Chain A
Amino acid sequence: MQIQPILAALKKHRLATVLIALEIALACAVLCNACALIAGRLALMHIESGVAQASLGTIQLNGYEQAQAVDLNARVLAGLRAIPGVQSASVLNSIPFGARRGTAGFSKDAAGKESGGVVEFYLGGPGSFAALGVQVAAGRGPQADDFKPFEGLMPSQSSVQMTRALADHLWPGDNPLGKQIWAFNTHYRVVGIIDHLVRPDPTGWSEGERDWSIFVPAEPGKFLAGSYLLRADPADLARVMRDAKASIAKIAPDVVIDHDQSRTLDDLRERTFKSDRAMTGLLVGVIVALLGVTAFGIVGLASFWVAQRRKQIGIRRALGATRADILRYFQTENFLIVTLGIALGLALAIAINLALMKWFEVARLPLWYLPVGAVALWLLGQLAVLAPALRAANVPPVVATRSV
């Protein structure tokens, strides 16, 4: 295939060529970045919660006095445990994908000079750690005598479990077991490392920080009440939740059940990622529309060129060019234009990604997206040009002898 005559012909249609190339360039840039955004949202939506999500539900109560808290805990826990099918009922201040009550900063030294970051402190009563179903990777889980009563927001001394992601961030390469952390007048020692325990609000944090949680065992009391974790067989859970709300209404008629937050963890998770799911759908829609518009643009312009060159095609056929030659001519022409567009588009994709990284805190575009995007557009171009090119190949040689 000779490229020279194609280039010569394109030179005569400089404007149209540049337009299609520009369209391809924009499409390529948006395609690569939209795919990267989709990948980011998918990663967020499929985050590992680290807990036995399908078996868990939560009951959130408020509208009671602090003085009643101890009594309320006792009555509610007894009531919940009496429901058939409940495997465990316990107190936990924050709930993965749900209520958030333990977000706080801490430091790696007693003087408070070296900040450790802002993490979620899950304050849990006896049974809550086991009920969550988090996996202990190193060290130990909480023991019975770790759950001590406390005054104020948090226990001042405790032996805690920390996620692997947080430990790796705080002490990279070091054994985190036995390390200590400080916050205000509290002082904790790390005795266990857990695989994962997602924050209640993972969407509000950057990718590396979504799993920064610490489990602090504590005895439920004045400041640890009203937030309960239920565990049941997944098949039973929906009924257990209904029964639980009904029984609370009897046990503690005066408190207010927060129906919006009292749900199964599956429901809470579903709700947490609702907007991300919508955004993913939108991005997919844009990609489809964009590829469609680009393809139709190519079809339209190629059809026009074929119609314009009917006579020349006829002459070429009359001079001995085969149908395959004509077909390949238009395919090569399209390939050249799309290549020009892709060259521009790859640069533009990187530029857009840099801008997104700056203003939208989006992750860096993985470089392998670029060749994949390029191949996708080459294929799209070839598909779009096929019909007009076949029409061109079917122009009979006799056209050469007719006037238009």
Chain B
Amino acid sequence: MFGYYLDLALRSLKRSPILTALMVLAIAVGIGASMTTLTVMHILSGDPLPGRSAHIFYPQVDASPGDWHNKNPLDMMDYRSAVDLWDAQRADRQALIVDSAIKVRAADANLPPLMLTMLSTTADFFPMFDVPFEYGGGWTAQDDARRARVAIISGDLNDKLFGGKDSVGKTLRLKDSDVRIVGVLAPWRPRPQFYTVVGGNYANGDTAGFYGKTEDVFVPFQTGLEINDGNFWQFTCWGLPSTPGHLQDSPCAWVGLWVQLDSATKVADYRAFIANYAQQQKTLGRITKTNTRMLDLMQWLDYNGVLPRDVKLQTWLAFAFLAICLCNTVGLLLAKFLRRAGEIGVRRALGASRRAVFAQCLTEAGLVGFIGGVGGWLLTMLGLWLVRRQQTPYSDLVNLDVAMFFVTFALAIAVSLLAGALPAFRASRIAPALQLKTL
């Protein structure tokens, strides 16, 4: 029966090519616009650590002075609080993080010095975030304690300095210190670069920067603080640091801490632990507030509003546009079906049931949706190409994956069936007798 309906639908569409083209075009344009924005949204709003993110937390202790009336703790911690929490080693895994810019040279590569971003972190960073290695591996907790002069570099930097060959054991000059490369990362592009996301609430919606590439150099936390001393930037300060760029004893927030907690009990224990810590530090008079918080990874990204405002706005715009296209298609399908009132009357008189007429009309609507979907898919590819050309920090990520490819067609057919339902219902209610009389 479906084959027959399809045949009827094709004939009917061919009979009024202009009306058909208008409907297909409206659906294609609507689908193209919505799928382009939806794909960008899908790429940017995913979970950067699928399956693990629920166990990753961002503890915060607020060291800001009492006359700062911030509702939530500052986005980063002062050095003392962060290092104390890390030293306690109460979580299953824990990593301190701080970014800084550093001058990098390689003795083996004949290149001018580069200014790169270096992440100072601790050994757990790599297993906790499932960081993939091309060569070598992470450093050990002993390396952290010894302030070992070791480093891990990104695949990009390895390509640039060593032509992509195994560079484990080679020496890298970071500012004025030599470090030994112990690991080279395989391509790693978490989206967003979640572990350094801070300050999203002050970005005024301009958060595309969170989707940039990862750091090129990773070194043990204290090693980094030593070799790049004087080049650290604060998230915020409540007093002037005595030496700008050297923040260990400064009244500044500038260090982040991530922890992995594998069970609900451990999460509750850790919350109690940081609350106790804040209470104890307040008693000691080091901090003035007992304001603490611990969000999991996805909550933290949500709190920072990582999805760029323009992307959200574009998505709303595209769906408003799709709604207009939908109204348009309903109107045109209605016109199309009712124009064939005579033919439907004959079919009804010859014994076709209302259901059969309804099914036939819906088949026609679905076919329009499918053709519109093909057009929409092409327009989506065009739209994504345009997005890639914009050179946003995330433009290299923008691609139509298999899931979104199927969503394109599903959406197109769903939209056209939705559009077809009302006109098809109207068509199926046509009284056969009245139509036969006018024939």
A63 touches B103 (CB 8 A): yes
Shortest CB distance B320–A (Å): 5
By beta carbon, the residue of chain A nearest B390 is A278
Say yes or no: is A134 at the interface (Cβ < 8 Å to chain B). no
CB distance A290 to B331 under 8 Å?
A: no
- CB of A62 within 8 Å of the partner chain: yes
B310 close to A19 (CB less than 8 A): no
B145 within 8 A of A: no
Contact call B240/A301, Cβ cutoff below 8 A: no
Is B334 touching A16 in the complex (CB atoms < 8 A)? Answer: yes
Contact at B205–A307, with CB atoms within 8 Å?
Answer: no
Distance from A66 Cβ to chain B, minimum over Cβ atoms (Å): 6
Partner of B240, one of A20, A185, A293: A185
Contact A22 B335 (CB under 8 A): no
B255 CB-CB contact with A under 8 Å: no
Contacts of B240 in A (CB 8 A): 152-153, 184-185
Q: Is B328 an interface residue (CB 8 A)?
A: yes
Segment touching A, from B109-117, B210-218, B352-360, B405-413: B109-117
Interface string of A348-391 (1 = CB under 8 A from B): 00000000100111000000000000000000000000000000
- Which residues 191-246 in A have Cβ within 8 Å of B in the complex? 203-206, 223
- B204 neighbours in A (Cβ, 8 Å): 203-206, 361
A301 touches B113 (CB 8 A): no
Residue numbers in A under 8 Å from B26 (CB-CB): 293, 296-297
A294 neighbours in B (Cβ, 8 Å): 324, 328
The chain B residue sitting closest to A279, CB to CB, is: B310
Instruction: Give complex CA distance A44, B241 in Å.
Output: 35
A361 to B325, CA, bound (A): 28
CA–CA, A26 and B322, complex, Å: 10
- Bound Cα distance A283, B33 (Å): 11
Interface presence of B309 (CB below 8 A): yes
Name the B residues within 8 Å of A305 (CB-CB). 335
Interface segment out of the listed B147-155, B273-281, B311-319: B311-319
Question: Which A47-72 residues have a C-beta within 8 angstroms of B?
Answer: 62-63, 65-66
User: Which chain B residues (344-374) contact chain A, with CB distance < 8 Å?
Assistant: none
Q: Is the pair B332, A289 in contact by a Cβ cutoff of 8 Å?
A: no
Complex: A153 Cα to B313 Cα, angstroms = 39
Annotate A276-305 by CB proximity to B: 1 below 8 A, 0 otherwise.
Answer: 001100110010011001101101110111
Q: Which residues of B contact A356 (CB under 8 A)?
A: 313
Known: A256-B113, A360-B205. A293 touches B101 (CB 8 A): no
Q: Does B392 contact A (CB under 8 A)?
A: yes
Q: Pick from B33, B206, B310: contact of A204, CB below 8 A.
A: B206
Q: Are A360 and B19 touching (Cβ within 8 A)?
A: no
- B136 smallest CB distance to A (angstroms): 27
Contact of B165 with A by CB under 8 A: no
**Chain B CB within 8 A of A27 CB:** yes
Give the complex CA separation of A147 and B18 in angstroms.
75
> Does B44 reach chain A (CB closer than 8 Å)?
no
Tell me whether A166 is interfacial, beta carbon within 8 Å: no
Contact status B203-A204, CB under 8 Å: yes
Cβ–Cβ < 8 Å partners of A256 in chain B:
103, 112-115
- Please give me the 7 A-B residue pairs with the lowest Cβ-Cβ distance, nearest first: A304-B335, A63-B103, A297-B328, A23-B327, A19-B331, A184-B240, A256-B115
* Chain B residues close to A by CB (< 8 Å): 19, 22, 25-26, 29-30, 33, 67, 101, 103, 112-115, 203-206, 208, 230, 237, 239-242, 244-245, 309-310, 312-314, 317-318, 320-321, 323-325, 327-328, 330-332, 334-336, 338-339, 390-392, 422, 426, 438
22 A-B residue pairings within 8 Å (CB atoms): A15-B426, A19-B327, A23-B327, A23-B328, A23-B331, A62-B103, A112-B67, A256-B113, A275-B390, A279-B313, A283-B317, A286-B317, A286-B318, A289-B321, A293-B29, A293-B328, A297-B26, A299-B22, A356-B313, A360-B205, A360-B312, A361-B309
Given contacts A22-B327, A26-B327, A153-B241, 12 further A-B contacts (CB under 8 A): A15-B422, A29-B320, A203-B204, A204-B206, A256-B115, A275-B208, A286-B317, A289-B33, A289-B321, A296-B25, A359-B312, A361-B205
